[in-house]
Amino acid sequence: MEAQKNRKAVITGIFAAIGIAIFITGIFTLGGQQKVFVRSVNVFAVFDDVSGLQQGNNIWFSGVKIGIVKKIEFYNNSQVKVTLHIEEKAREFIRADAKAKIGSDGLIGNKIIVIYGGSTGAPAIEGGENLAVEKTVGTDDMFATLQESNMNLIDITRNIKAVSKQLADGQGTLAALLNERTLYNEMTSIMASLKRAVNNSEKLTAGIANYSARLQTPGTLASDLVSDTTIIPELKYTAQQLNIASSAIVALSDNIKDATFALSDSNNTVSVLLRDEKAAADLRAILTNLNTGSKKLDENLEALQHNFLLRGFFRKKAKREAKALQDSIKMSR
């Protein structure tokens, strides 16, 4: 009997020890999940709507769980203040200008807090900071947007139905284009003309490009005209000289015209000489007489030089001329 009682006491002690071990393990497991025994800091975020966020939900940063939601309370008029319990080891990576938003753990999972962003120049959080928040689209907003999209889709479907009915009834220009063969042929002709115009435009563009390339070829006249700064002034100077020469030619032409007009005048002496044969014959006779008289005068002068009365005079004159010639030669030396 005593042995049976001892055995029951041992069994009871074993079960009690197992229960205590399970209880302690559960406490440590739950504490590990809730980050109870981990050094941490608290920061805050104020939301207009937490969309079903609950105390104990996880906090994520760069895809890593770094803490839990410690407390949710109302703030000001209708806002909600959330206390974020963040591990100390993650604190140095979160900047004071980082933002917080409410996300979802999967498509229909629990709500979570996601911390993101922050500039490298900002300091790390120390605890007690209010993080900026980003307004997220809630389920109600998504359903409202979906409802609005459905209404727009209904309107679009109604319009398409109306347009298709008009096309079927042959109403409007588009229906005429679909049903009228003549308009179709005209449109085909217009498109062919546009295609030819495009081809001609491409050829023109290619020609312009080729001409531009030739203009840029060094050594050609076109390239020199475009790039050489000395040719244009020279061309301008040449044009000015041509203009002056043209003016001189015009003046010469006017003078020739006046001279021609003067020659055509019957009262002019030159015109008389050109037109009157008798005057021309008299002039030739006068010139013949002058030539004969000149020869006789030369003979008379030669005879005077041999006359004994004037021989001394001509000898002295010849000596003076010879002396003057010698003096001029000496002076030139």
Q: What is the DSSP string of 249-293?
A: HHHHHHHHHHHHHHHH-TTSHHHHHHH-HHHHHHHHHHHHHHHHH
- In 3D, which of 73, 41, 77 has the Cα closest to residue 59? 41
Provide the token pair at 195: 């295609």
Q: In whole angstroms, what separates CA 84 from the centre of its chain?
A: 52
Predicted confidence at residue 27, as pLDDT, reads 57
Predicted confidence at residue 185, as pLDDT, reads 73
Predicted confidence at residue 232, as pLDDT, reads 67
Query: Could you write out the DSSP letters of every residue in 15-67?
Result: HHHHHHHHHHHHHHHHHHHTTTTS-EEEEEEEES--TT--TT-EEEETTEEEE
Predicted confidence at residue 42, as pLDDT, reads 93
Predicted confidence at residue 45, as pLDDT, reads 93
Predicted confidence at residue 229, as pLDDT, reads 67
CA–CA separation, 20 vs 50, rounded Å? 39
* Three-state SS at 80: strand
Predicted confidence at residue 150, as pLDDT, reads 81
Q: Which residue has the tokens 């993080």?
A: 131
* Other residues' Cβ atoms within 10 Å of the Cβ of residue 223: 14
Tens-place pLDDT, residues 108-121: 678 899 999 888 88
Question: For 219, left (φ over 0), alpha (ψ -120 to 50), or beta?
Answer: left
Predicted confidence at residue 242, as pLDDT, reads 79
Predicted confidence at residue 95, as pLDDT, reads 92
Task: Show me where the domains of the chain are located.
Answer: 39-136
Q: In whole angstroms, what separates CA 327 from the centre of its chain?
A: 90
Provide the token pair at 84: 């974020």
112: which strand partners? 103
Predicted confidence at residue 226, as pLDDT, reads 61
Return phi, psi of residue 95, to 5°. -90, 160
Provide the token pair at 225: 């005209």
Dihedral Cα 92, 96, 102, 103, nearest 10 deg:
-40
Q: In whole angstroms, what separates CA 21 from the centre of its chain?
A: 77
CA–CA separation, 158 vs 177, rounded Å? 23
pTM for the full predicted model: 0.37
Tens-place pLDDT, residues 126-175: 888 999 998 766 666 677 777 888 888 888 888 887 777 766 666 666 66
- In 3D, which of 20, 115, 2 has the Cα closest to residue 58? 115
* Radius of gyration, alpha carbons of the chain: 63
CA–CA separation, 137 vs 104, rounded Å? 11
CA–CA separation, 57 vs 34, rounded Å? 9
Q: In whole angstroms, what separates CA 164 from the centre of its chain?
A: 44
Q: Which H/E stretch holds residue 44?
A: strand 40-47
CA–CA separation, 139 vs 116, rounded Å? 22
Residue type, 180: E
CA–CA separation, 115 vs 136, rounded Å? 13
Which residues of the chain register pLDDT less than 50?
A: none
